[in-house]
């Protein structure tokens, strides 16, 4: 609120509190006569949760500061590991905790290179493990082209596995497309391929999936297959800045993965994650608001006849028809920051889902750019 304000203006602003629109002005946008006006650029490029962390997690983290002078991280780590094991119906020895899922990805790349093998990965996927493997570890990363529908080609991937292959990396749901793989086909692929190499399935966005056909590959771990699953507290739980992630696999793989971990976790992040994973109400809220925001955009795209993929995540892959290097600055004029290029699909944009009212602003800005 401005310092110099008339009594009438104060009354008007006070009235908007009841309607809820003044709350918006406190978090980056204001509403005048039903029109949303963004004050700050909205981040629609990093797949962040605009609502997190939850209040429950915040309280837990504030309490954790009182023990930050003590070496209590080991107890928090054990508690979180046991919680993840319980939630996923596995044993604690099946779980490794990492400094975000990025550490899991990097350490898996190290493990792969030490074995002197190749890494197979789709052309369009989350690039962290591929970049670390190729640039840091000098691993040969074999890329598999996408299908005509921009999907993961499991058949071709399976055919490319050979004696040099030590690991196959897949995202399900995929990043940046947001599309899930056929669960039966993926399960058969994992069972067959894991006899020859480790199958790494990145399930960072699994909580967002609404498709009832979706199935996590965690169940294969209990059956003894060499499948490695990674997940993160950065998305639904809104803890991206605190870096907490985990892996689920066989005790043998987990033991080896843990041998490369550098212990960068902190007690504040762990306490926040423990509280958040128990906070089912906030998880439900985050997912519902994400679905609301996504629908606002997809309804607009359908109306305009603009192609996009069936996302099961907190982002949408949209065929804008505009080169992303031109689309980014164009949308920035409307205070919307959109995602980076994903070659060779350079006229597609990965759009992260923000709050519903902010997604309306994307629609308006996009509409102006389309003319």
Do 256 and 119 lie in a common domain? yes
Residue at which a domain ends, from 278, 307, 342: 278
The pLDDT tens digits for 54-95 are: 999 999 999 999 988 888 889 999 999 999 999 999 999 999
Residue 68 in any domain: the answer is: yes
Do 129 and 189 lie in a common domain? yes
Q: Are 194 and 226 in contact (CB under 8 A)?
A: yes
Residue 34 in any domain: the answer is: no
Any idea what DSSP says for residue 31?
Answer: E
Query: Mean pLDDT in the chain?
Result: 90
Q: Which domain holds residue 192?
A: 55-278
Do 202 and 274 lie in a common domain? yes
Residue 205 in any domain: the answer is: yes
User: Nearest-5° angle of CA 42, CA 235, CA 319?
Assistant: 55
Residue 225 in any domain: the answer is: yes
Number of domains making up the chain: 2
Residue 2 in any domain: the answer is: no
**What does the pLDDT read at residue 72?**
83
Over 60: is that where the pLDDT of 26 sits? no
Residue at which a domain ends, from 257, 278, 299: 278
Domain of 152, CATH number, reads: 3.40.640.10
Residue 120 in any domain: the answer is: yes
Do 196 and 327 lie in a common domain? no
Bridge partners, residue 170, by sequence:
201
- pLDDT tier, 16 (very low <50, low <70, confident <90, very high otherwise): very low
- pLDDT tier, 225 (very low <50, low <70, confident <90, very high otherwise): very high
The pLDDT tens digits for 347-371 are: 999 999 999 999 999 999 999 998 6
Do 248 and 341 lie in a common domain? no
Residue 31 in any domain: the answer is: no
Give every CB contact of residue 8 below 8 A, 6+ residues apart in sequence: none
Residue at which a domain ends, from 278, 295, 319: 278
Do 221 and 319 lie in a common domain? no
Phi-psi region of 231 (alpha: psi -120 to 50; beta: other; left: phi over 0): beta
% of the chain surpassing 90 pLDDT: 83
The pLDDT tens digits for 114-161 are: 778 899 999 999 999 999 999 999 999 999 999 999 999 999 999 999
């Amino acid at each position: 609120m401005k310092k110099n304000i008339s009594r009438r203006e104060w009354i008007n602003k006070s009235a908007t509190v009841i309607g809820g629109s003044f709350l918006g002005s406190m978090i980056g946008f204001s509403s005048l006569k039903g029109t949303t006006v963004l004050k700050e650029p909205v981040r629609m490029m990093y797949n962040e949760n605009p609502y997190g962390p939850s209040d429950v997690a915040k309280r837990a983290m504030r309490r954790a500061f009182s023990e930050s002078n003590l070496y209590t991280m080991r107890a928090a780590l054990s508690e979180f590991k046991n919680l993840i094991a319980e939630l996923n119906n596995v044993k604690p020895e099946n779980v490794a905790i990492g400094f975000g899922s990025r550490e899991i990805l990097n350490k898996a790349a190290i493990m792969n290179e030490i074995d002197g093998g190749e890494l197979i990965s789709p052309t369009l996927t989350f690039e962290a493990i591929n970049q670390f493997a190729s640039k840091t570890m000098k691993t040969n990363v074999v890329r598999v082209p996408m299908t005509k529908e921009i999907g993961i080609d499991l058949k071709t991937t399976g055919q490319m596995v050979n004696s040099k292959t030590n690991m196959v990396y897949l995202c399900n749901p995929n990043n940046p497309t947001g599309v899930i793989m056929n669960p039966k086909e993926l399960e058969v692929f994992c069972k067959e391929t894991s006899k020859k190499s480790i199958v790494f399935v990145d399930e960072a966005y699994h909580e967002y999936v609404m498709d009832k056909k979706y199935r996590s590959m965690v169940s294969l771990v209990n059956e003894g297959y060499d499948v490695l699953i990674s997940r993160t507290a950065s998305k639904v739980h809104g803890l991206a800045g605190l870096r907490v992630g985990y892996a689920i696999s066989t005790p043998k793989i987990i033991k080896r993965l843990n041998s490369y971990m550098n212990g960068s976790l902190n007690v504040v992040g762990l306490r926040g994650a423990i509280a958040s994973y128990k906070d089912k109400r906030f998880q439900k809220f985050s997912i519902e608001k994400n679905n609301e925001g996504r629908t606002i955009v997809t309804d607009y795209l359908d109306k305009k006849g603009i192609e996009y993929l069936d996302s099961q995540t907190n982002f949408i892959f949209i065929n804008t028809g505009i080169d992303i290097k031109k689309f980014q600055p164009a949308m920035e004029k409307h205070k919307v920051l959109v995602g980076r290029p994903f070659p060779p699909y350079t006229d597609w944009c990965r759009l992260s889902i923000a709050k519903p009212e902010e997604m309306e602003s994307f629609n308006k800005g996009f509409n102006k750019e389309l003319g």
